[in-house]
Amino acid sequence: MSIAIEYLANRASVAEIAEHLLCCDADFLPTLSARVEIRDYAQKIANKATRFEAWSTGTLVALVAAYCNDQETHIAHITSVSVLKAWTGRGIAASLINLCIENAKEAGMRQISLEVATTNIPAIKLYEKSGFMAGKLNEPIISMTLNLNSGETMNNKRDYNVEIADTNDHKYAYGFDFDVMHPYMIKSFEPLFNKGSLLELGSFKGDFTRRFLPYFDDVTCVEASEVAVAQAQQKLGDKVTFVNSLFEKATLPKRYNNVVLTHVLEHLDDPVLVLKRINDEWLAEGGRFFLVCPNANAPSRQIAVKMGLITHNSAVTPAEAEHGHRCTYTLDTLERDAVAAGLKVVHRSGIFFKALANFQWDRLLQTDVISKDYLEGCYKLGQHYPDLCSSIFLMCEQGEKK
């Protein structure tokens, strides 16, 4: 039988806060007692912070404390997040952080900040899942922020036309994507294609869509950005049926023999919901679903971690977040979401071994340093080491509805 958890605000006394923090001391990185005198800190939290508390049978099992009263900068600051070890892994901290976020919005705050040790990967992942983005890195601490009124939280309305736009320091798509990854994706898909119709989810401006036309006469594309749809229609005319809609809201007239979703799932607020629609509504009996995502474990990302440019392989960088990324998948987490949606994973692979960032590839491709044979070698090596590829690839078939 599960034990009930009660979520309250500002109930704990100074003594109860201190006792809780003492119990959690060793779980802080570095330990809390190495940075502050815990009882004095408990007094400060009780006097000045808003506390979001989880209680069970009279015990304070988790605590998030934040300063939400700066009416000059309108920036809230989370000063402490703690959960008793026996209560971790139950989503309690995430629930308290969500309560803190809602409180900060109601208090008129425009941003929430926090600091976390660069070595505390579970905490970083928790904050990223709540919408926080990594900012200033000051070893061994990283600052993270959540903007409450800029569209960066999952509940706010997104502008998909803005997300596909290039920024000063980051492109939405690179020459490497068009000239290298697109051909090798088709090469990976081609032996597995079914005859019949194709549904492409997330067609962007139609460059990848064009590569399907030699294989299929019946191609439908769903794309959220009307700007992208307009440009794709200019390129492809009436060869393709375009549907300008969110995947979550799209109404399609039939099921399809092939469904393709490439470098899109990581942008979705609820990826399992969309995968479930593919399985339950859009994939024909005997149909095949081609799912490709950027790979968190690509050597280029692992090198970036060692350089201190990102905190961990699966991090979502500020530039990626600007382009609508919500997560970065590995083979196991990608398969986890596919299976959770009811899909049956039939084939797993990787596409193109990659040790350089996209902008570096773009520069090299303008020289004679990279030959076609070298590119082919990287593609073939990726078949042996899928977890070291630029992108990871699952081919799925329809499973049971969940």
> Are 131 and 208 in the same domain?
no
Label each residue of 195-223 as H, E or C. Answer: CCCEEEECCCCCHHHHCCCCCCCCEEEEE
Q: How do strand 6-9 and strand 198-201 relate by DSSP bridges?
A: unpaired
> Are 252 and 372 in the same domain?
yes
Give the position of tokens 């960066």.
152
> Are 376 and 259 in the same domain?
yes
Residue 187 has a pLDDT of 96
> Are 113 and 202 in the same domain?
no
Give the chain's domain count. 2
Predicted TM-score of the model (pTM)? 0.63
> Are 236 and 370 in the same domain?
yes
The per-residue pLDDT for range 128-165, each reduced to its tens digit, is: 888 888 876 667 888 888 888 643 333 345 566 666 65
CA distance 62 to 85: 10
Residue 153 located in a structural domain? no
> Are 142 and 185 in the same domain?
no
> Are 139 and 188 in the same domain?
no
CA distance 315 to 135: 12
Q: Give the largest Cα separation in the chain, rounded.
A: 72
The per-residue pLDDT for range 163-175, each reduced to its tens digit, is: 665 554 455 566 7
> Are 17 and 137 in the same domain?
yes
Residue 164 has a pLDDT of 61
Cis peptide before 30 (omega within 30 of 0): yes
> Are 105 and 203 in the same domain?
no
> Are 126 and 245 in the same domain?
no
The residue with greater pLDDT, 299 or 157, is: 299
Domain boundary (83, 113, 147) is at 147
Structure tokens at 300: 């280029």
Q: How do strand 50-56 and strand 59-67 relate by DSSP bridges?
A: antiparallel
CATH for 297: 3.40.50.150
Residue 155 located in a structural domain? no
> Are 68 and 201 in the same domain?
no
Residue 154 located in a structural domain? no
Structure tokens at 242: 């375009």
Q: Which DSSP string corresponds to 145-210?
A: EEESSSS-STTSPP-HHHHTS--SS--SS-HHIIIIIHHHHHHHHGGGPPSS-EEEE--TTSHHHH
| Share above pLDDT 70 across residues of the chain, in percent, rounded to a whole number | 92
Domain coverage including residue 250: 160-397
CA distance 79 to 113: 9
Residue 152 located in a structural domain? no
> Are 118 and 226 in the same domain?
no
CATH for 19: 3.40.630.30
Q: Which DSSP string corresponds to 12-78?
A: --HHHHHHHHHHHGGGSSS-GGGTS-HHHHHHHHHHH-EEEEEEETTEEEEEEEEE---TTT-EEEE
